[in-house]
Chain A
């Protein structure tokens, strides 16, 4: 039997609010013990022990990234590896990939294919409707049995009100959440039905006027959120708004929570760290969906994170090739990479004293687990050893050239913090040289 000991590490457990410096002993895929002195728990004599001196380092449950797009040219296994290197031990992928994840057999296939002991675990949102027209409910019960943990149309809004009502009602019956990309496609110009193809390209306002780009009004988001909340009330469904980006939608969700509806939402780092002024040079790394909004919306996202209206932070990873981004803004693809910066950008909120570290970790671990009704990540005796080790204060700079996915909207941003190790099922999924050097012989 091999033991791994993390000596004098700060343990953060958002489930129990435990936050103390301890020795942590890992055995097989479980946490064997969290104690003041590991020597009282294990002895050197008959067992092999790897001891890491973790003085000054912090440990928390592994991150759950509840929104990852796997692009056409991306390989799931490669993304799992990159996610693990960046502290994500569990991620949820969207159904709008090719082929579409809209039937039980493909859910089952991907679940099996992705199960590798020391790689990031893959969870799946099934497609809520059979195709892009969004008019027929897919087999969400059967997909749920195969392990789909929620239903969504990915980067398209579930548009038809009746379809949404039925979906919510049915999903409530099988106890799964509906995840919505809230955007009125007619208002944002994404509805292909119009005779001329006029696509919304960025947030509507002074900047879009100056740049001569087609604006998407910010109310395109709240219009859908408000409708859906009424349907959630009607059906009793668990309804989750993905990558929320405007003050109005956050206000509406705050009110819905007050009256006890099962409504939750997440946001992504671009929406609390950037605003539409980033687009002034037509830099396509900032072409996102939803678009970067006004400064006031960014501040509202921060307020929402602080007061708990926003439950979780997801990477909203949607990496794009350089070829599709080195284009005029209107022709460039939508999306940016996220899994490599999720943790660092969330930590930035801690360093800016917007939230404390416990809260940051909750937003990335236990809160997404609650929303998706997954097993609650926890660091406690006999708990599953899915965790990360990080240095919260080490200075660094995000550099596109050092990243494996592109484009990052945070190129050249100064940050603090580094993931040093990721353990999945008690096995090393990623270990940084700095941590390797801390092994006590």
Chain B
């Protein structure tokens, strides 16, 4: 309840956050207080009128370096940085220097030589942003690495839930779908368990990573049991590009057992909300009508909150670095 009051008090954390690191590489290992402050600050940004002048990072250079296709995440980061007044350069490296045989570290140090303040990295290999952080001297934000983490997605999901429900602690949250191949799931598991939510993971046994319960979650291969009384149902996309073809018999069979439809949703808390990090496969993990149900689906809010959360993070990294340099 206390949390609710804080939330109502708009702009409770109305100054930039100082983090313990000048990178955001993973949620795993982050302090609860740090996560909380980032969300509060993002909430403040989300409440601002879109035309409020937030351009505090004049001259700050952000490189958006994407080794994997992305539309929403790249645009969201770009908007966030621009709203803070930073200069943004988008670099798509899916087909360029890598094909010419340049090593990842050479590419990274070339970019680093142009002295950006921040590198936002998406890479198909787990752990790649950590390698960047080891070798480069600018701040790094992990915008998704392989099957490892997608920390900004988890933060924006938390903000979305918090703005709708008011708090995270004690909430029953079911993450359903392709957990094995999902970095979103891992970041959300770490964040939500750290914040005291009750996290359940629902997936066919072929898409459930081994020993997942050791991360502090309950695992279900029966969706009806997994979403019973849930306050939030978070769906994940079947990442066919990361599969061998032996995981699922067919999409229609998947939808029958693991797709969210009215019947299954009826088992959840009557006020349960639906989330999805996108892009969605309608009729595979979610019934099309549910995705569009504005009363229950927070999918569009998630996208909107992405910008606010990323503003809060970029600002925090700049603030942290400035503080480090002062000391």
A residues neighboring B (CB under 8 Å):
189, 194-196, 198, 204-206, 208-215, 217, 281-282, 323, 326-331
Contacts and interface: CB of A to CB of B under 8 A. Distances in A.
19 contacts: A189-B244, A194-B245, A195-B245, A196-B245, A204-B210, A209-B209, A209-B210, A210-B186, A211-B126, A212-B148, A213-B126, A281-B130, A326-B105, A327-B131, A328-B127, A329-B125, A329-B127, A331-B104, A331-B125
A329 B126 contact: yes
Nearest to A201: B126
Contacts of A212: 126-127, 145-149, 183, 186
Given A210-B186, A212-B149, A328 B211 contact: no
Interface in B103-135: 103-105, 123-128, 130-131, 135
A214 B127 CA distance: 12
B256 interface: no
Contacts of B214: 206, 209
Given A211-B148, A328-B131, A198 B244 contact: yes
Given A196-B242, A198-B242, A209 B127 contact: no
A205 B245 contact: no
Contact of A282 (B28, B104, B127, B211): B127
A204 B209 CA distance: 9
Secondary structure of the A contact surface, majority rule: loop
B219 to A, nearest CB: 11
Interface in B191-230: 209-212, 214-215
Given A206-B214, A212-B147, A212-B183, A196 B126 contact: no
B104 A196 contact: no
Contacts of A210: 28, 186, 215
B243 interface: yes
Contacts of A198: 242-244
Nearest to B135: A326
Contact of B211 (A189, A205, A327): A205
A213 B147 contact: yes
A194 B147 CA distance: 20
A131 to B, nearest CB: 25
Contact of A195 (B125, B128, B244): B244
Nearest to A327: B104
Given A214-B147, A327-B104, A327-B131, 10 more contacts: A194-B244, A195-B244, A210-B215, A212-B149, A213-B146, A215-B210, A282-B130, A326-B105, A329-B126, A330-B146
Interface residues of B, number: 31
A206 B215 CA distance: 8
B200 to A, nearest CB: 16
Given A194-B245, A323-B103, A328-B131, A206 B125 contact: no
Nearest to A194: B244
A189 B123 CA distance: 21
A34 B86 CA distance: 80
Contact of B209 (A208, A327, A331): A208
Interface in B137-158: 145-149
A93 B147 CA distance: 37
A205 B186 contact: no
Contacts of B128: 328
Contacts of B124: 330
B103 A326 contact: yes
B210 A206 contact: yes
Nearest to B185: A212
A209 B215 contact: yes
A211 B214 CA distance: 13
B241 interface: yes
A282 B131 contact: yes
Contacts of B183: 212
* Max chain A Cβ within 10 angstroms of own Cβ: one of B126, B128, B186, B241: B126
Contacts of B245: 194-196
A190 to B, nearest CB: 12
A395 B326 CA distance: 43
Question: Top 5 A-B pairs ranked by shortest CB distance?
Answer: A212-B148, A212-B147, A328-B125, A282-B127, A206-B211
Contacts of B146: 212-213, 328, 330
Contacts of A281: 130
B174 to A, nearest CB: 18
A356 B242 CA distance: 49
A259 B127 CA distance: 47
B210 A330 contact: no
A22 B243 CA distance: 65
Contacts of A189: 244
A370 B307 CA distance: 68
B123 A328 contact: yes
B103 to A, nearest CB: 6
Contacts of B209: 208-209, 215
Contacts of B186: 209-210, 212
Given A195-B244, A330-B146, A209 B211 contact: yes
Nearest to A191: B244
A243 B127 CA distance: 27
Contacts of A330: 124-127, 146
A365 B76 CA distance: 63
A208 B211 CA distance: 9
A322 to B, nearest CB: 10
Contacts of B104: 327-328, 331
A196 B245 CA distance: 8
A50 B127 CA distance: 57
Contacts of B125: 328-331
Contacts of A215: 209-210
A328 B126 CA distance: 7
B78 to A, nearest CB: 24
